[in-house]
């Protein structure tokens, strides 16, 4: 059902936790399945220097949260904003169709955190 990469990011998630006094925080959820993702950013000179997540949800939700943090670290805000949920799924070697709509919210959470950072910076 799940790829080896999904299982690896689920059983050994990267970048779990919170960033105190984060520069940006984004939270998204899906009421139909109960998955909730929160992404925390530390930004320096327009580059994502640190990124962490806290996710309540299924294995796919945890795996996609872990993967987006790996994909976003070191990118400029503009580069991170073009990351998509589809790109996250592809980086994990795919997700079951039933998990795409509810569990793969990771890029949405990242975008929300970036937008939160931009709002606070204005």
**Annotated catalytic residue within 33, 58, 81, 91:** 33
What angle do helix axes 4-11 and 59-72 make, rounded to 10 degrees?
Answer: 90
Task: Check if 58 is active-site.
Answer: no
**Annotated catalytic residue within 41, 102, 106, 114:** 102
Q: Which residues are catalytic?
A: 33, 102
């Amino acid at each position: 059902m799940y790829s080896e990469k999904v299982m690896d990011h689920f059983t050994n998630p990267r970048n779990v936790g919170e960033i105190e006094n984060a520069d940006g925080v984004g939270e998204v959820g899906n009421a139909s399945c109960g998955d909730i993702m929160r992404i925390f950013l530390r930004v320096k000179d327009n580059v994502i220097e640190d990124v962490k997540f806290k996710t309540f949800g299924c294995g796919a939700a945890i795996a996609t949260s872990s993967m987006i943090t790996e994909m976003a670290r070191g990118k400029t805000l503009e580069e991170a904003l073009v990351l998509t949920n589809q790109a996250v799924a592809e980086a994990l070697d795919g997700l079951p169709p039933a998990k795409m709509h509810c569990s793969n919210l990771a890029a949405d959470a990242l975008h929300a955190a970036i937008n939160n950072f931009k709002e606070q910076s204005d």
